[in-house]
Every structure is written in C-alpha cells, then in structure tokens.
Structure 1
Amino acid sequence: MILLVDDKSENLIALRKTLESRGFEIDTALSGEEALKKVLKTDYQLIILDVQMPGMDGFEVAEAISGFSKTRDIPIIFLSAVNVSKKFITKGYEAGGRDYLVKPFDTDILVLKIRTFIKLHEQTTELNTIQQSLLKEIAQRKQAESKKDEFIGIASHELNTPLTSVKGYLQLAERQLEKDQVDQAKMFIGRSKAQVEKLNHLVSDLLNATRIETGKLNYKYTEFELEPFIGHAVDSVLQSYPDVQINTDVNGSVKIYGDETRLEQVLVNFLTNAVKYAPESNNVWLTARLLPGDLVEVRVRDEGIGIPKEKQPYIFDKFYRVEDNHNQFQGLGMGLYICSEIIKHHGGEYGLESEPGSGSTFYFRIPLKAVQ
C-alpha cells in the first residue's frame, strides 16, 4: 500500500485516482501529524510526501519516519511545486527521501519509479528476514564463525553493487527530466530495472538456500521431454549472453519424471557459470545422453580458468566461491549448493572434471523415473 500525504485534498484525489488506475492500493493523509500516526499502525511500501504543509512540513515528517526502526526503510518520494531549488532538493535527500520530483511531473516516470522503489523495499525486507535467519543458524554452529563473516562481507558487497547502480541511474533520470529529456530518463530507469533484476536473482538464491535448510523448497513432479527441456535452458541463457555459442548435442528422445523448473534451474546455473568463468571464450558445450540403467546425463563443458584439485571437493558447499589471483567473480556462493540439493532430491548424482587452465565440465545424472 502507498501512503499519499498532502494538505490539499484536491491534490490527493487527483493523484489517488491516477495511481489506483495503475493498480496501486492507496491510503491518504491530510497532514504530517496524521501521516505519522498512520505509518506506526499500517505497513506501507512507499510514501509520497508533499513538502510544503502547515504544522509539520514534509522534511520534518520524513526525518521522523526515518527515526523509527519500524519505518526507517520505507522509501519516500517528495513532490513539490514550490520548493524546487537545489537547496530544498538537497534537504529532501538529507531528510531521508529516496527521490525528489518537481511538479508538474511525467506520470509514466512516476509510476516506473514507484514500482522500482516498491520492489527494492520488498527485497530489502526479505533480505533482512533471511539475514536474521542465517545469523541465528550460524550462531548455533560456533565452528562456522569465519564462514559467517566471509558470507556477510560477500553478501554486503554483492547486494550493494546493484543497489548503488540503481541509485545512480535514478539520479541521472531525474536530471534528464529536469531538462525535459523524457526518452533519456526512461532509458536510465530501464537500466535501473535491469540492476533490480540482478538483485532479484541474488535474493532468490538466498531464499532458495534458506528454504532448503528448512525443508520448504517446493517440488512439482511431472513428465517432460528431454530435448525441449534442454532448449528452454539454452534460450534462457542466450537472452543474457547473446554473443555466446552454446554447442548442444542431445542424444536420445526420452521422457523424464521430475521437477522441470528446478532441473532447468540447475542447467541454467551450470551454463551461466561456464560463461562467467570463461571470460576469454565464447564457446560452451552441452551434451545430454541416455545411460544404462535408465539414467540421463547432462554435461556442460567450458574453456575457462579451471579448478585446482584441492578446491574441487568444496565446489558444491554453501557459500563457497572459486577465485584466482587474476579474476574476481560476482555471486554469493549459493548457486552450486542449491543445484546439488535439487539433484539429490531427484535421487541423482553430480560432479565436475577440471584441470587448471583447461576448462571445467560440470555434470549431473538423474533417473528417468525419479522418486519424490
């Protein structure tokens, strides 16, 4: 739900009607005092706040909201038709605002910003919940203290990178709007949405890992064809990496009984890693074949940096990331751990073959009639 705060009822009515027509749930307040009472009783995803109001002005309201632990993470967008100088815009950000729009504004741009900030707020809330769960779990295994510190450092870095990009792109979009460059503003907002999607993938990995630990990762078993399954995974990766050549060799038209979505998640992860860990190559090889004993094997080979023998036993461990002295790669060290748990759930096996400097091959084998 979004809270609109303005001392002029006609402004509230107009903006409420516009946003409700776009599918948003809206609540309103006619003063800063009323707004503070509401935010303490109701959970809001976003607050749109007028600057100039009698009694408490918008800046004072924002500072008060930011001072409460329950409400400090709620994104605030300032709207003003009067206080439009740089001094007031700066004051808005200092008071805790995420954005400052000057009336009249482009409705489409406002809607895009609202959706972006709401998604970020939802992911921040999820991340806080996950972090608390992980910290509690790690505290019960004293031997994992070093892993906890390492993970928090990695998570903070990986999650802050797209967040920082989003903030930068939105600021650039705001400057373009001030120049009436709407197309340029939309471009920057589009880029910020791409960064939000990266953040969404990171949060999804955290959620899946937590669900695995609590036994709440859901599976839906159906019968599906091997060849289209391979094709869907390849197409998904090529959308993000259009310059990569994925050479496929599918031997055997067979049906598999398993969770197609979860298994595709495994294959996409293997393919994405093959691209990521082979930055100087555009070729990946994927083979799928039927093995004796009603097993299907899928192998993904790259021409990347390879993995030293001493590191290979830990590759599928939670939080483990492969690094070398020349390359640093993004990620939380969750992906292969999640893959291993999905394959285990299908009664299968997984592994890798690798030599430093000679690339790597990741594979999994599952029975055609996997037992739930």
Structure 2
Amino acid sequence: MILIVDDTPENLISLKKVLEKHNFEVDTASSGEEALKKVLKNEYVLIILDVQMPGMDGFEVAEAISGYSKAKETAIIFLSAANTETKFITKGYSSGGLDYITKPVDMDILLLKVKTFYRIYEQSRKLIEIQKALLDEIEFRKQAERKKDEFISIASHELKTPLTSVKGYVQLLDRSIDKGDVPTLKKHLAKAQVQLEKLNELITDLLDISKIESGKLKFNKQPFLIDDLLNSVIEIIHQSNPEFKLLKTGSVSREICGDEMRIEQVIINFLTNAIKYAPGTSEVHIHVEDRGHNVYVGVRDFGIGIDKDLQKNVFEKFYRVEETAIHFQGLGIGLYISAEIIRRHGGEVGVKSTPGEGSEFYFSIPFNATSEKD
C-alpha cells in the first residue's frame, strides 16, 4: 500500500486517482501527525511525503518514521515545490528519504519511480523469504545431525547391553557344563534366550528403518480377521507379562485386506510400550471397532502419559520423550516404523494422552487397505 501525505486536498485527490488507475492501493493523510498515526497502525511499501506542511514538515515526519522499527524499511519519496536547492535535497536524503521530486509533479516520472520501488520491495521480500527458508533448512540439517548422533549413541548402548548379557550367560553355561548342573544350565539358557530375543528385536527395527529409508519395506497384503490377530497377540504378550491384565473390548467380524504380519508388529509395539511406560499398573485395555469403511484399534495404558506439546513428536524418527528416555530402553524408532506401516496401509495413527493418567495409542485402517506405494 502507498501512503500519500499532503496538506493540500487537491494534491491528495489527483495523486490518488493516478495511482489507483494503475492498480496501486492508496491511503492518504493530510498532516504529518495523521501520517504518523497511520504508519503505526498500517504497513506501507512507499510513502509519498510533501515537504511543506503546517505543524510537522516532511523532514520531521520522515525522521520520526525512521525511528519506528515497523516502518524502517518503508521507502519515502519527498515532494517539494519551493525547496529545490541542493541543501534541502540533501536534508531530505539525510532524514530518511530515498528520492526527491519537485512540483509540479511529472506523473510519468512519479509512476516510473513508484513501480521501481515496488519492484525493489518485491525482490527484497523474496530474498528475505529465501534467506529464512535457507536458515530453516540449515537448522533442520543441524537437528537431523544431532538426532542421528544421539541415535548412534543410543543404538550402540542398546545393542551392547543384551550382547554383553549373552556373553556372560555363555560363560556361566560353560562352567555349569563342567559341573553337570542341568537345572542351572536350563536357567542360564532361558535367560540368554531372552537377551537374544531383545537383540533380535533391535536388529529387526534397524533393518526395518533402513528399508523404509530406501523405499524397500515390502508388504504382502492378504485377507485376515483382526479379532483373531488381536487374540493371538494378547496371548503372546500375556505369557511374557503374566502380571498384566490385557482386557479386550469390541469385535470386528469383517476381514481386512492387509499385511497381517506388519499389523501384528504395530499391535505388539503398542502393547509392549503400554506395559513398559506404565510401571506400577496392572491393566492395559485394547479396543477394536468397525467404523464402516475403517477398523479402529486402540491400546490404552494407565501410566505416566505424555504432555500435549510432545504428543505430535512421538511418531518421529529417533524421537524419545525426554522424561522417559533415561528410564526406559529403546531406540526411539518403534513408533516411527509403526506409523509408516499404518500409512502404507492408507490409514492414520495417533495418540491421546493425559500426563499422569495414561495414553491411548491407536490406528485406523480401511478394510481394503491399499495405497499408492503398494
């Protein structure tokens, strides 16, 4: 928008008409004081400012405007009928003006200058946008690098922990063999098996994320019953966590066309997280529901919960909620992999949570789960 400041109504009207005829948006002020009030409220690309005005003259107005952080980039063109001497023109530039036109105004020259300032303004704005985008991109590279370094550190630790345990149990097994102590042998073998399973899960997650990154995560979509899958997973999880009650509500009789193994992977991830992040509790609720075109599955725990501001991040790659990262194991990629699996089924994944009351992780997929990436 252009602001014209002149104490002569005829000048305001004539300049306004010419500029509006050339599709410029125009505002007017009949005094320096009125102009300053408008500059505080509105943003202007250009101010055409008369020098000779009662009260505040144009130079004083320009100096005041240059002190406003909001308007310091606004271009000012001075108009003057009397003060055409070099010293007055110099004063105009020193007070913040970028150009100086004498009256009577040559409208063609004024229009040329206005168009030039508008072009400069547009170019400047684009440069600022490009600069901001570059800075945002650089900051995103830095954050990604920090996340990658943190992930490598966590992965090294998480992989080393079960591996060290297995090595310890193998040494104990060696000693037990020499003693012929079969019960102790079986006990150490069982514990080593648990650690090997943890190691296998970690390696599987790492392989999955590598396949996601390279676009090679494969899906074998066939019809299956979600109720049968849920019952099977609940039985498996309960065997390894007998202290937890896994309560299922709802039922779906229709078949889903999807990758049963991958959907099982998501449900197991949700259930193991629900148990892991709910210390001191003894129940996890699983709800399944036919919602017409989609099937809904939610896993509800009664644990520590997640702050609202952090909920949007939990499905990001390598993300771990800071409050829980130091207390619980994990690479911070299970939920990211789960989200990718659900998205590849054309579905949605999310979380509802209240700190101190628990969380419900859920997904919804169409019964005929196809997507563009199949």
TM-score bin (small chain): 0.5 to 0.7
**Given the superposition, is the C-alpha separation of residues 369 and 326 from structure 1 closer, same or farther in structure 2, using an over 3 Å criterion?**
closer
Partner of 1:91: none
Partner of 1:285: 285
- How many aligned positions are there? 232
Query: Could you report, residue by residue, the CA deviation over 1:287-339 in whole angstroms, capped at 9, with x for unpaired residues?
Result: 111114x1111111100100011211110011111242796111100100000
Partner of 2:207: 207
User: Take 1:180 and 1:319, find their aligned partners in 2: how far apart are those partners?
Assistant: 46
Partner of 1:153: 153
Partner of 2:96: none
**Given the superposition, is the C-alpha separation of residues 291 and 325 from structure 1 closer, same or farther in structure 2, using an over 3 Å criterion?**
closer
User: Take 1:198 and 1:337, find their aligned partners in 2: how far apart are those partners?
Assistant: 18
Within a 5 Å distance, the mapping from 1:151-230 to structure 2 comes to 151-230=151-230
Per the TM alignment, residue 197 of structure 1 is displaced from its structure 2 partner at its CA by 1.1
Per the TM alignment, residue 189 of structure 1 is displaced from its structure 2 partner at its CA by 2.8
Per the TM alignment, residue 256 of structure 1 is displaced from its structure 2 partner at its CA by 0.7
User: Take 1:176 and 1:220, find their aligned partners in 2: how far apart are those partners?
Assistant: 45
**Given the superposition, is the C-alpha separation of residues 333 and 258 from structure 1 closer, same or farther in structure 2, using an over 3 Å criterion?**
same
* Helix, strand or coil at the partner of 2:249: strand
Per the TM alignment, residue 285 of structure 1 is displaced from its structure 2 partner at its CA by 0.5
User: Take 2:324 and 2:163, find their aligned partners in 1: how far apart are those partners?
Assistant: 27
Per the TM alignment, residue 343 of structure 1 is displaced from its structure 2 partner at its CA by 0.5
Partner of 2:238: 238
| Partners of 1:348 and 1:364 within 8 A in 2 | yes
**Given the superposition, is the C-alpha separation of residues 224 and 309 from structure 1 closer, same or farther in structure 2, using an over 3 Å criterion?**
same
Query: Could you report, residue by residue, the CA deviation over 1:51-75 in whole angstroms, capped at 9, with x for unpaired residues?
Result: xxxxxxxxxxxxxxxxxxxxxxxxx
Is 1:299 aligned to residue 290 of structure 2? no
* Helix, strand or coil at the partner of 2:250: strand
Per the TM alignment, residue 180 of structure 1 is displaced from its structure 2 partner at its CA by 2.9
Query: Could you report, residue by residue, the CA deviation over 1:325-371 in whole angstroms, capped at 9, with x for unpaired residues?
Result: 79611110010000000000010001010011010011111111111
Within a 5 Å distance, the mapping from 1:1-372 to structure 2 comes to 141=141, 143-292=143-292, 294-324=293-323, 328-371=327-370, 372=374
Per the TM alignment, residue 144 of structure 1 is displaced from its structure 2 partner at its CA by 1.8
Q: Which moved more, 1:321-330 or 1:149-158?
A: 321-330
Partner of 2:71: none
* Helix, strand or coil at the partner of 1:311: helix
Partner of 2:88: none
Per the TM alignment, residue 269 of structure 1 is displaced from its structure 2 partner at its CA by 0.7
What do you get for the CA RMSD once the two structures are aligned? Answer: 1.8
Deviant stretches of 4+, over 4 Å: 140-143
Per the TM alignment, residue 239 of structure 1 is displaced from its structure 2 partner at its CA by 2.5
Task: Tell me the TM-score normalized by structure 2.
Answer: 0.59
Query: Could you report, residue by residue, the CA deviation over 1:188-237 in whole angstroms, capped at 9, with x for unpaired residues?
Result: 13321221111000000000111111111110111111211211221221
What runs of 5+ residues in structure 2 fail to find an aligned partner?
A: 1-139
User: Take 2:272 and 2:321, find their aligned partners in 1: how far apart are those partners?
Assistant: 14
Per the TM alignment, residue 254 of structure 1 is displaced from its structure 2 partner at its CA by 1.4
What runs of 5+ residues in structure 1 fail to find an aligned partner?
A: 1-139
| Partners of 1:323 and 1:329 within 8 A in 2 | no
* Helix, strand or coil at the partner of 1:170: helix
Per the TM alignment, residue 243 of structure 1 is displaced from its structure 2 partner at its CA by 1.7
Letter in 1 for 2:297: V
User: Take 1:312 and 1:171, find their aligned partners in 2: how far apart are those partners?
Assistant: 44
Letter in 1 for 2:320: R
User: Take 1:241 and 1:328, find their aligned partners in 2: how far apart are those partners?
Assistant: 19
Partner of 2:82: none
**Could you tell me the percent identity over the aligned residues?**
50
User: Take 1:182 and 1:149, find their aligned partners in 2: how far apart are those partners?
Assistant: 44
